[in-house]
Chain A
Amino acid sequence: AQSVTQLGSHVSVSEGALVLLRCNYSSSVPPYLFWYVQYPNQGLQLLLKYTSAATLVKGINGFEAEFKKSETSFHLTKPSAHMSDAAEYFCAFGGSQGNLIFGKGTKLSVKP
């Protein structure tokens, strides 16, 4: 069965520090993978997506993610955290019918 696991429900970093949010997937077919961000009481905004082109994907707001097939991972990174990055981040896998399978989310806190 296809699934997505996000390690760490809460991550806290200092402003200016590296952000690393982990995502692993389980699938027997080549995946479509996505990272979304959700601010409080809002909908989801697409950060970036992997669709079998380049393995290093650059997204909005300085985020990027690297697809590693051997590790079945798609971790999200940002070199330098900003206070405005505080939000909840969801990794998602494109299911066979077009629906998205989401991880449980990681809440990112940024300390001044």
Chain B
Amino acid sequence: NAGVMQNPRHLVRRRGQEARLRCSPMKGHSHVYWYRQLPEEGLKFMVYLQKENIIDESGMPKERFSAEFPKEGPSILRIQQVVRGDSAAYFCASSPPTVYEQFFGPGTRLTVL
């Protein structure tokens, strides 16, 4: 059973470009969470999704950030018009229904030039 997969592992963007981060949950997992880790800080919750539904986006910046988890395919975290402050590691985690345990992917390290 493959673990949580994220791609790309490293992403470089110039200011103003768009960044798309992908997350494929573990097989059988229908819940996906996105977290952001800034240097020297812990992970901060961004958004919680189930298939075709956003359950909790209380940690998402109000502008430029969006997330989806379509019926088919991976979950996508999209950052429009990136700024230098968006440089961080973005982690995806998945869990099965009714289980209070999250499995993390290796992360995508975004660098904004």
Main secondary structure on B side of the interface with A: strand
Chain A interface, >50% SS class: loop
Contacts of A90 in B (CB 8 A): 42-43
> Is there a chain B Cβ closer than 8 Å to A104's Cβ?
yes
B75 contacts chain A at the CB level, 8 A cutoff = no
Nearest-neighbour CB distance to chain A for B71, whole angstroms, equals 20
The answer on a CB contact under 8 Å between B106 and A100 is: no
Q: Enumerate chain B residues within 8 angstroms of A103, measured Cβ to Cβ.
A: 42
Interface residues of B in 1-27 (CB under 8 A from A): 4
A-B pair number, CB within 8 angstroms: 61
Partner of A32, one of B58, B59, B100: B100
- Give the nearest-CB partner of B31 in chain A: A98
- B11 to chain A minimum Cβ distance, whole angstroms, is 14
Q: Is the CB of A95 within 8 A of B45?
A: yes
> B113 at the A/B interface (Cβ < 8 Å)?
no
- Is A49 interfacial (CB-CB < 8 Å)? yes
**Quick check: B48 and A99 within 8 Å, CB to CB?**
yes
Contact with B along A19-49 (1 / 0, CB 8 A): 0000000000000101010000111111001
Q: With A43-B104, A44-B43 as known contacts, state yes or no: A100 contacts B91, CB within 8 Å.
A: no
Complex alpha-carbon distance, A90 and B33, angstroms: 17
Chain A residue with Cβ nearest B48: A99
Contacts of B111 in A (CB 8 A): none
- For chain A, the count of residues having a C-beta within 8 Å of the partner chain is 24
The answer for the CA separation of A101 and B100 in the assembled complex, in Å, is 13
Kindly identify which residue among B4, B40, B45, B103 contacts A99, using a CB–CB cutoff of 8 Å: B45
- Give complex CA distance A9, B39 in Å: 13
Q: Using known A-B contacts A44-B43, A90-B42, A90-B43, determine if residue A100 contacts B102 with beta carbons closer than 8 Å.
A: yes
| B72 CB contacts on chain A under 8 angstroms | none
Shortest Cβ distance from residue B69 to the other chain A in the assembled complex, whole angstroms: 14
Q: Which residues of A contact B (CB under 8 A)?
A: 9, 32, 34, 36, 41-46, 49, 51, 90, 94-95, 97-105
Closest 6 CB pairs between A and B?
A102-B42, A43-B104, A99-B45, A44-B104, A97-B56, A43-B106
